[in-house]
Chain A
Amino acid sequence: MISALQRIFSSPDRRSVFSRIIGFFSTGKEQPITADSDYITEQFNYHRRNVVVLITLCYGLGYVCRLAFNVVKKPLMDAGVFTPEEVGIIGATLLYGYALGKFTNGFLADHAHVGRFFAGGLFLSAMANMGMGFSELAWVSALLWGINGWFQGFGAPSSVVSLSSWYSNSERGRYYGIWSTAHSIGEGLTYLGVAWLIAEAPKGLGLDWQWGFWTPALICIFGAYLLWRYLPDKPRALGLPTIADWKGDHGKIDKEHQDESVWKTQLRVLTIPSIWILALASSSMYVTRYAINSWGNVYLQEIRGFDLFDANLFIFFNTAAGILGCLAFGLVSDKFFKARRPPANLIFGFCEIVPLLVIFYGPQNNVVLAIAMIVYGFGLSGILASLGGLFAIDIAPKKVAGAAMGFIGIFSYIGAGAQDYISGKMIYDSEIIFAFPHGEQNFNIFFYNYDKPIIFWVGASVVSILLASSLWKVKAAD
């Protein structure tokens, strides 16, 4: 990595350093396709195997740098470092940064060497996490976490561009499902791993909250190294045919726009009404997703009385089940509904809403809570795999998959970011402080009421499923 940077800065090339950096991160020029079909097959087999493993593993590792703050929220609130409102604002800045990142980087990823692009984002995200461990000022943390959000936005578009470059229409559901397990792998690593670092002994190591940021940073640096070394550019830049040509798997061909430039096609994505509806549906579902991810463990500690480790363990159940949900969604929609996503959306939507009602309004029993978390995670991950990308890639022209994903992403994370602030505000407004002064010092015990936020979180899921169901007849494009 260092030698690559040295090449950029010490090259005799007369272009500016900025141009050389842009050139370094750009996708290679399309090469003439080699005539050796055995070589092509060998190359495709090799890269296709690498791509799915790398993007799944590294996107999962990247999650640890995105979610660490959620685990340390309660310790930060209890220690009086930040109020729930400040915590909500800091959490929201990441999601707004991420929304912006997903959008801008979605457009950029279509033009990038995704291995270098993804690695750069992950490395810079690690640096932001390092900084968070040193900050106790709300505005500094908000700024760092917002920047981290933008760096985190390098991962998903890069992964989606890799998926659409190396896997064809009829198999993309399955591979997308595998990649989507990265959400759960990363969330699981965070909610168990980071919680284990911070939780009091004997359940955890009882480290200070700062380690909840520094350890993820080290993990992300490792992920960035793997991507830098092993994630390939697009097939055409390597002298290989497109995946659709190699697999003979073409979708509906839009002859009118076939020769259109990538930039023009990207803009045309914004004129497709179903993409807008999908963006709103995804946005609503992201409200629930990030509500549970951001505030779920705080709710379980505050209202249900669990300790930090157990609360995060319940959140982990939902993320672990999410791995199955992602895989099942790809399989179910590809195999049982001929790659149609709406029927599967509806099924997985019900699997998400019913357990959500049980979690908040059902019996106060640990086994029931664990089962509800598992089913919720299964349903949520399935429908998110669709609304957050797979369905959008189906609808949009394939050469601008990154832009379509970016467009959905910006809506999704604006919803998630607004949720974090609104939830934090509602929780803070309900605050009652029980203070126990003794001399100069004060023991403060905080009580919060979650009735209003819960209605907000569940309602968002209902709206999402209604919107997604309105796209019942929409079909895939090439």
Chain B
Amino acid sequence: MTVKLVLLSVGISALLVGCGDKQEASFCKSHAKEHQIHQSDITQIEINYSEQGLIVAQVKVAKENVQRDVLSNMANIIDVKAVRACTNESVDIKEAGNYYQASYSLNCGLDNKLKKVSVLVLDNLKTVEEVEVAISTPSSSKHFVLNRQCDSPIFNIN
């Protein structure tokens, strides 16, 4: 009986460890720690949704990845669906060395309910492999990395 129990425990432990890791996901699992090595080079997006209903999105992207015209059209970068339509307030594009720094502002109003904010950078900027994103809403903030090779966002980046 005791021998059977020991064998069962060893078998289950082996099964647990064996089923735990998938080879193809190793890059995505380890990238959180390695991200800081190339952090300053990659595309960065910062979105701030305030209690007053203002959405400000800032995108820093290398010039080699995008044409200024594409950035100038807000619809190429951000699309907001809410209970009541939001108004596009401004688009501002600046150059800083090899980068464009684009800023987009939308006003969704005080008591409006946001449903979905689509950020189209990966869809429209085909040469961008990875983006680092920081989003802040009245209730919480999230900071993560999106890489085309990974199925899910990478959180807890250093």
Contact = CB atoms under 8 A, between A and B. Distances in A.
- Check if A and B associate: yes
Interface residues of B, number: 35
Kindly state the interface size class of chain A when it binds its partner: 20 to 34
Interface string A286-309: 000000000000000011110100
B6 interface: no
Interface stretch (B58-66, B97-105, B147-155): B147-155
A447 B122 contact: no
A451 B153 contact: no
A35 interface: no
Contacts of B49: 432
Interface stretch (A113-121, A434-442, A465-473): A434-442
Which among B137, B139, B146 has the greatest number of chain A C-beta atoms within 10 A?
B139
A448 B121 CA distance: 23
Contacts of B119: 434-436
A436 B156 contact: no
B152 A79 contact: yes
Nearest to A447: B137
Nearest to A432: B114
Nearest to A203: B156
A32 interface: no
Interface string A189-232: 00000000100110001111001000100100000000000000
Contacts of B137: 432, 447, 449
B111 interface: no
Interface of B: 12, 16-17, 19-21, 29, 47, 49, 114-123, 131, 133, 135, 137-142, 144, 146, 148, 152-153, 155-156
Given A303-B140, A436-B118, A437-B120, 7 more contacts: A197-B16, A207-B20, A211-B19, A433-B115, A434-B119, A437-B118, A445-B133
25 contacts: A200-B156, A206-B20, A207-B16, A211-B16, A211-B19, A302-B140, A303-B139, A305-B140, A305-B141, A305-B142, A307-B156, A430-B139, A432-B137, A433-B115, A434-B47, A436-B119, A436-B121, A438-B122, A438-B148, A445-B144, A447-B140, A448-B140, A449-B139, A450-B139, A451-B139
Interface of A: 78-79, 197, 200-201, 205-208, 211, 215, 218, 302-305, 307, 430, 432-439, 443, 445, 447-451
